[in-house]
Amino acid sequence: MSSSETEDGKKNHSDEGEPSANDTASGGEADKGIGTEEADTLVSLLQKATLLEEQPHQKKVLDDLSLKGIAEHINNGHIHDIVIMAGAGISTSAGIPDFRSPGSGLYHNLEKYKLPTPQAIFELSYFRESPEPFFQLAKELWPGIFKPTPCHYFIRLLHEKKLLLRMYTQNIDTLERVAGIDEDVIVEAHGTFHTGRCLECRHVYTQEWMKEKIFDNLVPRCTQTIKCSEEDEEEFTCDGVVKPDIVFFGETLPQRFFLCAGEDLQKCDLLIIMGTSLVVHPFASLVNRTHFQFKIVFVIFNVRGKSEKMSRIFFLVGKNCLRLYLNLEKSENPYDPLMALLGSASSFKFDHNDNYRDVFHQATCDDGCFALAELLGWKDELKKMIDTEHEKIMKANATTEAGSGID
């Protein structure tokens, strides 16, 4: 499926991965009333107390804040734990559309499904009522139809050279797995087609089982037999709709996303962001969530006198973590220390005089990865890997088609 979801951006590389859940406070938002101003003041004081506004003239992590400088830093052995953040842009050259690019984006080409809004195809409430449009789209974008891109193989190369700590992807196309990147280092932040679950009884189904139903133009439905009660011998078939384990709007991100982020971003010494314009949260806020975290619980009394709790995990930006952004255009979010703290804006300082660790390289994701691979002396190795793996995929597909009698 379109490797990811969301984002306004340029064609090919500014869209993000699958629909994501909102990063809301655990206790819900309190009514505007007594206590909210105090909470705002506390955040402001916290900003100052934690020196969130990074001090100007801080010593640069690199003297040369460029792609070349980063390559030299890696080759000199100063980088050991790279974290990748990837959006839909890394899969567009495989033929998978991003979500919001004007004209070519997925949301701009859904008229035939007669949806109330383009986003409805990924809304759980609409899916429960009308699952057919989603499965029609899923058939068109089903994983396995497309080959991984140079970006995917560059990330695999990082893993084989023991430089990759983790890859966080918004994409649901599973091309990371197809490229041969170990499952252990992948965090599919917006879920995956690899498994599916019944919306009623939560029974788990495989990708192969779902594919058979979807390609027969059927809505996958649960076949589990359920007893009415332990005493009653009467049984019935569940028949609930089986939804792939991708994150729809309004759903919570997988627990693995939060568990891994808490540890990985403390170790990360190079964060590479590619193919995303950093619009969808909480995924986009990983840019700021490096090195240190703490939790604050606000107790707010609303106008009815009822106390409500709001809690949030805050991550402060690690001061020595380099950040490389590969994209066709810079993130439009301006630097705002307070919003960076709250995880609602990027904190890049590309054009600031006090930029000491942020690098922007304007290019398609594939071109950016090839450029970095060349500077690292890996270009020929990367090209050989791409050719070899694509040939394997074509042979496997040919064998499958021959076995099924497809002309």
Q: Which residues are catalytic?
A: 190
- DSSP assigned state of 249: B
Q: CA 1 to CA 170: how far, in whole Å?
A: 11
Residue 100 marked as a ligand binder: yes
Geometric angle at alpha carbon 287, from 281 and 293, rounded to 5° = 90
Residue 277 marked as a ligand binder: yes
**In a 3-state reduction of DSSP, which class is residue 297?**
strand
Q: CA 352 to CA 120: how far, in whole Å?
A: 39
- Convert 103-121 to b/e letters by CB count within 10 Å (16 or more is b): eebbbeebeeeebeebbbb
Residue 44 marked as a ligand binder: no
Q: CA 314 to CA 219: how far, in whole Å?
A: 41
Residue 321 marked as a ligand binder: no
Residue 63 marked as a ligand binder: no
Residue 201 marked as a ligand binder: yes
> What are the beta bridge partners of residue 240?
none
Residue 105 marked as a ligand binder: no
Residue 246 marked as a ligand binder: no
E strand segments, 270-357? 270-274, 292-301, 307-316, 322-327
- DSSP assigned state of 74: H
Tokens of 63: 């003297």
Residue 307 marked as a ligand binder: no
> What are the beta bridge partners of residue 358?
323
Residue 365 marked as a ligand binder: no
Q: CA 24 to CA 350: how far, in whole Å?
A: 29
Residue 369 marked as a ligand binder: no
Please answer whether residues 30 and 39 qualify as being in contact, where contact means their C-beta atoms are separated by less than 8 angstroms.
Answer: no
The closest alpha carbon to 176, from 162, 192, 163, belongs to 192
Residue 82 marked as a ligand binder: no
- For the chain, how far is it from start to end, CA to CA, in angstroms? 24
- H or E element that contains 393: helix 379-404
Tokens of 352: 């600031």
The closest alpha carbon to 5, from 184, 140, 149, 188, belongs to 188
Residue 103 marked as a ligand binder: no
Question: What is the phi/psi pair of residue 130, to 5°?
Answer: -140, 80
Residue 228 marked as a ligand binder: no
Q: CA 40 to CA 213: how far, in whole Å?
A: 52
Phi-psi region of 202 (alpha: psi -120 to 50; beta: other; left: phi over 0): left
Q: CA 256 to CA 260: how far, in whole Å?
A: 6
Binding residues for NAD(+), as ranges, are 88-92, 98-100, 170-173, 276-277
Binding residues, as ranges, are 88-92, 98-100, 170-173, 198, 201, 222, 238, 276-277
Binding residues for Zn(2+), as ranges, are 198, 201, 222, 238
